[in-house]
Structure 1
Amino acid sequence: MTLQISDDNRVRTLVLDRPEALNAFNEELYLATATALREADADPDVAVVLLTGAGRAFSAGNDLKEMEARITDPQMSDQGSHFTTMISALTDLTKPLVCAVNGVGVGIGTTVLGYADLVFMSSTARLKCPFTSLGVAPEAASSYLLPQLIGRQNAAWMLLSSQWVDAAEALRMGIAWKVCEPDELLPEARRHAEIIAAQSIPSLVAVKSTLTEPFRDGIEAATARENAQFEMLLGGAANAAALADFTGRGKS
């Protein structure tokens, strides 16, 4: 299993569970998460979804070994990715999403926060959008959602620099709503999730719809722009060198 799922007080908790890979998303985890989000949305007894990670990471992002394999293996490169399946599920989610960032969040481990309604972050957690260091383009409509969430210049720094952002800076920027000590993170995130979950589900859905509907066209357009740029850069010299360095093939 790559995803733990549990219910308590109308809160469905999803725990990314690939700790040996720092909860990096492979195709199996993308599909499992997308399926779980859609099932939570359809369940009349679920009011709020809480997403966190097992072990010392929230998510180290896309599984780079699998990414390299998709580039070098013609059969894999011809297949679509469940990354888009998960982004569609996040975009379509009608119930509140609370994220508890328990450790490092890299790539999709950061950009997923653009779809959250509340973000809680451990004081020891860090975020990074490594796209320029990997020689690729942004993903998950982050080029649109991050400026909406944290302002253009904060978003520009995160997307252009490939540098770490610590919890205090994430709070200042506005990508995190609350920063907690590590042992208080899940209890605080759950306490707030249960406050929301105690409300009328149709009302929660109505509120979320009014908050998110104005952004749907922007997400769709940004996704198309990002995908076009990503496909153009994927497998290029900078990307190939970065992936080879990560997997060890670039070392003499």
Structure 2
Amino acid sequence: SWILMSSEWISAERAKDMGLVFELCEPDDLIDQAMAAAHALATKPISSLIETKATIVEPMRDAMLAAHERENTALAKLMVTPASIEAMTAFAEKRQPNFDGIEGG
């Protein structure tokens, strides 16, 4: 939850430690590594891959859809706030946002 609340940038190594990515590689090796992973999966029976993915995803489907809906509702609500407008303006102007005196900032 810290990463979501702080918007902290995380390194590739930390993302791997957290289980967000399964493998790290050098940028120049990315396409080769991705293709190797794709080819490894392509050797498996498609029906097995489909059922494996369904087994993993199905128990979480309703919770994921509900979370997505909550996220969309929150984003729509927050995108029009003065703090959000200041953040987007600051980003476009390549400066740090100044939330002093801004409601919700």
TM-score (normalised: structure 2)? 0.81
Quote the residue 2:90 is aligned against: 245
Does 1:231 find its partner at 2:76?
yes
Secondary structure, aligned partner of 1:208: helix
What amino acid is the match of 2:62?
Answer: D
1:2-55 residue CA offsets vs partner (Å, 9 max, x unmatched): xxxxxxxxxxxxxxxxxxxxxxxxxxxxxxxxxxxxxxxxxxxxxxxxxxxxxx
Amino acid at match of 2:76: E
2:43 pairs with one of 182, 191, 198: 198
How far did 1:247 drift? Answer: 2.3
1:208 pairs with one of 34, 53, 64:
53
CA distance in 2, matches of 1:178, 1:239: 35
CA deviation after TM superposition for structure 1 residue 189, in Å? 1.8
Name the structure 2 match of 1:92: none
Separation in 2 of the partners of 1:227 and 1:192?
A: 32
Deviation track 1:195-235 (CA, whole Å, cap 9, x = no partner) reads 11111112211111111111110111101211221122111
- Once the two structures are aligned, what percentage of the paired residues are identical? 37
Matched, 1:183 2:37: no
* CA RMSD after TM alignment: 1.5
Whichever of the two has the greater Rg, that structure is 2
- AA paired with 1:159? L
* Partner SS for 2:20: coil
Q: Which amino acid aligns with 1:186?
A: I
Q: How does 1:122-141 map to 2 (within 5 A)?
A: none
Alignment of 1:130-169 (within 5 A): 156-169=1-14
Distance 1:234 1:181 in 2: 36
SS state of the match for residue 24, structure 2?
strand
C-alpha distance in 2 between matches for 1:178 and 1:159: 22
Normalised TM-score (structure 1): 0.36
- Compare relative contact order (CA 8 Å, sep 6+) and give the higher one, 1 or 2: 1
Distance, in Å, in 1 between the alignment partners of 2:11 and 2:92 is: 26
CA deviation string 1:84-139 (max 9, x = no partner): xxxxxxxxxxxxxxxxxxxxxxxxxxxxxxxxxxxxxxxxxxxxxxxxxxxxxxxx
Greater helix percent: which structure? 2
For residues 131-187 of structure 1, the C-alpha deviation after alignment (integer angstroms, 9 at most, x for no partner) is xxxxxxxxxxxxxxxxxxxxxxxxx12101111101111111111111112222221
- Match of residue 65 from structure 2: 220
Q: Which has the higher strand share?
A: 1
- In the alignment, structure 1 segments of 5+ residues that lack a partner are 1-155
1:179 is paired with a residue of what secondary structure? coil
